[in-house]
């Protein structure tokens, strides 16, 4: 296990000062984590502006021992703002981010609005920090499932090219935001009390149930939008348009932290011991692979911390060539899958 990235102690913004920072969507699940990551990682902030919809304006959120009042997002919100961390949904990002970028603010966007644009870097700092060069003031944060799936895979890919991967995701309520997390809690309570519960946030009953990810399915391919994101974003981040990828994305009744089952095929034979040796020094990765006690990555252990946990590392016995490995991983969707990754990107800009 290593630190996810060196913290920015002593680093400053242009002109030798700390940057002015805005968080857009500050009252949402990811927004709250963005504020927390800025504080816990010691990100240098001259002034922090918290922005949200009009219905959230006037609320206060803590930062470094002070309560900061949330302001309504408006065209003038980014005056004097150097870096804006967006987590307010694709529609807001598409409308507001280009204007902020045009005014000189560097936008780090958590939505899918700009991820696949050729002129927008899609960045996981442990993998492709160099992609930030030449950005045009908009930088995209990848899909949470893609981050959890491929951050541990990258150091393998560097040593023994990954040609194919099959990933199944087990996605927590946190991926759909605070409202979905509340719905899981409320529906579980109703289920245990024998009461009827009508889902409002997600399309199916969530308590003691799981279902295909609730994004639209492409009738031409049969893949839902989440699966398409994982496949397309992986190819872009790895810089390998030829990588063969298959994804199945499922919602599971877990409050926080996504898990993934991953099988990958390398160019050359590879053993589980080689994989463990590579992952020992991989940034942002922790091996949890206790075979004797049947203890492997779990969402409850991944929640609230920044490492991606990897275990169940074993040969894929269906591949007699010895080129394929299977593992199971878990990572906090709100942290490394969203807020932490965005703040790490911001740190690279200092």
Summarize pLDDT for 127-173 with one digit per residue, the tens: 999 999 989 999 999 999 999 999 999 999 999 999 999 999 999 99
Q: Which of 144, 157, 249, 266 is catalytic?
A: 144
Q: Please report the domains of the chain, with CATH numbers, ordered by start residue.
A: 14-142+338-349 (3.40.50.720), 148-333 (3.30.360.10)
Cβ 51 vs Cβ 70: under 8 Å: yes
With 80 as the cut, is the pLDDT of residue 8 above it? no
| Annotation marks residue 258 as catalytic | yes
- Rounded to whole angstroms, the Cα distance separating 44 from 17 reads 9
Instruction: Count other Cβ atoms within 10 Å, centred on residue 169.
Output: 28
Q: Name residues whose C-beta falls within 8 Å of residue 300's C-beta, 6 or more positions apart in sequence.
A: 257
Average model confidence (pLDDT) for the chain?
96
Give me the mean pLDDT over the 330-350 stretch.
Answer: 97
CA-based Rg of the chain, rounded to a whole angstrom? 20
pLDDT at 14: 83
Q: Which of 135, 157, 213, 258 is catalytic?
A: 258
Which pair of tokens denotes residue 160? 């023994």
pLDDT in tens, 95-114: 999 999 999 999 999 999 99
Q: Which 8-state DSSP code applies to residue 71? A: E
Q: Which of 210, 207, 172 is nearest to 192 (CA)?
A: 207
Cβ 313 vs Cβ 289: under 8 Å: yes
pLDDT in tens, 132-145: 998 999 999 999 99
pLDDT at 44: 97
Q: Is the pTM of this model over 0.85?
A: yes
| Annotation marks residue 135 as catalytic | no
């Amino acid at each position: 296990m290593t630190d996810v990235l060196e913290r920015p102690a002593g680093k400053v913004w242009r002109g030798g000062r700390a940057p002015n920072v805005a968080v857009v969507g500050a009252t949402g699940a990811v927004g709250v984590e963005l504020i927390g990551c800025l504080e816990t990682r010691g990100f240098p902030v001259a002034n922090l502006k918290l922005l949200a919809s009009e219905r959230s304006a006037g609320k206060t959120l803590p930062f470094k021992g002070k309560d900061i009042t949330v302001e309504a997002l408006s065209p003038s919100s980014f005056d004097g703002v150097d870096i804006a961390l967006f987590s307010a949904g694709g529609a807001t990002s598409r409308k507001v981010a280009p204007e902020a970028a045009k005014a000189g603010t560097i936008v780090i966007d958590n939505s899918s609005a700009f991820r696949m644009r050729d002129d927008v870097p899609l960045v996981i700092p442990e993998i492709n920090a160099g992609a930030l060069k030449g950005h045009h003031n908009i930088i995209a944060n990848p899909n949470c499932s893609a981050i959890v799936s491929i951050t541990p895979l990258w150091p393998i890919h560097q040593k023994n090219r990954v040609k194919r991967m099959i990933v199944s995701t087990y996605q927590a309520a946190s991926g759909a935001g605070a409202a979905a997390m509340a719905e899981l809690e409320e529906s579980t309570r109703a289920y245990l009390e024998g009461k009827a519960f009508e889902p409002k946030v997600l399309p199916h009953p969530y308590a003691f149930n799981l279902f295909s990810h609730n994004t639209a399915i492409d009738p031409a391919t049969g893949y839902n939008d989440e699966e398409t994101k994982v496949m397309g974003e992986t190819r872009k981040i790895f810089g390998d348009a030829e990588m063969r990828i298959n994804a199945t994305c499922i919602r599971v009744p877990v409050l926080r932290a996504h898990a993934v089952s991953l099988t990958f095929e390398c160019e050359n034979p590879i053993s589980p011991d080689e994989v463990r040796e590579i992952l020992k020094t991989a940034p942002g990765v922790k091996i949890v692979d206790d075979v004797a006690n049947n203890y492997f990555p779990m969402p409850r252990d991944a929640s609230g911390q920044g490492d991606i946990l990897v275990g169940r590392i074993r040969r894929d016995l269906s591949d007699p060539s010895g080129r394929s490995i299977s593992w199971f991983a878990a990572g906090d969707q709100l942290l490394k899958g969203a807020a932490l990754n965005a703040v790490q990107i911001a740190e690279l800009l200092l």
